Amino acid sequence: MSSVHKHQRRRTKKSYIKTRFVTFRSHLIWDFCARKFIWSQEETEKVAFSKSRRLVMVRSLLHLLPVAIAVILIYFNIWQYYVGGELAGPTGQDSQKLGALQFAGKLHELMMLATISAIVFSYIRAQLTFGEGVSIGTLLAGHQFSTISNLWSMEFWCAVYSAKVQKKGGRRQKWWLIVVITVATLLGVSVGPSSNNLMRPRLDWWKAGGTEFWLDATQAALFPLNYSTDGIPASCSQFDNDTACPYGDFDSLINQRIAFWPKMTWLGSMPEKALSKGQMSLREVMNYYRSPRLSPGALISGHYETSVRAPKAGIADALTELIRLWALAAANRDHGKRFRYRVDASFEAEALLPEVQAYCLLHNETGATPDKEFMLVFTNITNGTNNGAVPYTQVMTAPASNDSNLWLRNALFNPNITDAGAIL
């Protein structure tokens, strides 16, 4: 113990500088500086362990930086961090930025391997100095842990055998050395891919908040059981483009849907989308056709039903207004400033969606057709499953058993026809 303190008192400034270069494996730099400044390079007394807190702090710098980077990366990936539409820096150069991140990930991998190697060698040096010693093959474990083949190498299993035949006094230390080498090997082969994956941002949809909104209307007004002229403005008696009228955007359907009918053939198809404008929004009117596999002579399509569905006009208008308010809040609020750098934004609202089904085939009063009975199939658009089929005769006589499937009698087009309507 006294020789250690005596050695510490004889240390000079040059010895401290050399210690720092040697700590970070920079022997060449030390040799260059010694030759440049004409420092003596005489061999000094070799000290296996030195009781110096300052030296411990210097050696800890080798572990501090890679571990801190790993903790920061894990924190950002667990709690998630929104980067924005592109990475920070000059715009339009994301490929170069991602390449720089990949290079940084490789540097972090090398630093992690260096700190793991230092830990393994420190444990081996402690076993050589204070323990029962180690096998010859274990001396190079600090250089061999970066490959998974180290776990079935001859040197590793020699160390295992040495721990197995070791006397009871030092057997625990031997097995702890085996555990350290095993953990170091598993970390050595995984830190590289893990660091690169954690450092590269992922393109995905980011949850940016939400709210609830209400429509200033009753349930009967939103989902009426019978269509009538009650509540419709008198100005709607004339055909115009007023979106407040039930048929105010009928010209869009004429141009985008009905215009294709004269060119239709039995082997033809039509677009599956049409845009219908409202007071504040544009709605997608989706239409599907019955598959020819299920109905001979039908149009070519992969769907087993002929139906049309579109969002409610009031819900679409309210959602459009909320989108405008969200964009203003994202640009002005401190917590939402990063959302202004978004590439795209998608908004959705959970609401009931009306659907109209049609079956163009001659039938008699009982609903029978020359080949089979007409069935209406109701689909759950959330998961794509069927809610059951209802015969046409049941629909004509009474509402369906399912409360969500209602027969709506429409008196707007021809009051004398009482059985014309839609199934929602």
Beta strand ranges found along 280-354 (DSSP E): 282-290, 304-309
Q: Which of 95-99, 202-206, 283-287, 398-402 has the lowest mean pLDDT?
A: 398-402
Name the more confident of 331 and 264. 331
| CA atoms of 389 and 391, how far apart (whole Å) | 7
Over residues 201-206, mean pLDDT: 75
**Phi/psi-derived region of residue 299, left when phi > 0, alpha when psi is between -120 and 50, beta in every other case:** beta
Q: How confident is the model at residue 410 (pLDDT cuts 50, 70, 90)?
A: very low
Over residues 94-106, mean pLDDT: 81
How far from 348 is each of 294, 305, 325, CA to CA, in Å?
33, 25, 15
Name the more confident of 174 and 201. 201
| CA atoms of 144 and 185, how far apart (whole Å) | 8
Over residues 274-285, mean pLDDT: 84
pLDDT at 171: 66
Q: How confident is the model at residue 214 (pLDDT cuts 50, 70, 90)?
A: confident
pLDDT at 46 over 60: yes
Over residues 263-279, mean pLDDT: 74
Instruction: Tell whether the torsion through CA atoms of 133, 136, 140 and 145 is positive or negative.
Output: negative
How large a percentage of the chain has pLDDT more than 70?
Answer: 53
* Averaged pLDDT of the chain: 69
pLDDT at 354 over 70: yes
Q: What token pair was written down for 224? A: 């009426």
pLDDT tens for 323-348 read: 888 888 777 776 655 676 677 778 88
pLDDT at 389 over 80: no
Residue showing tokens 């009928």: 250
- Taking the whole predicted model, whether its pTM rises above 0.85 is answered as no
Name the more confident of 319 and 362. 319
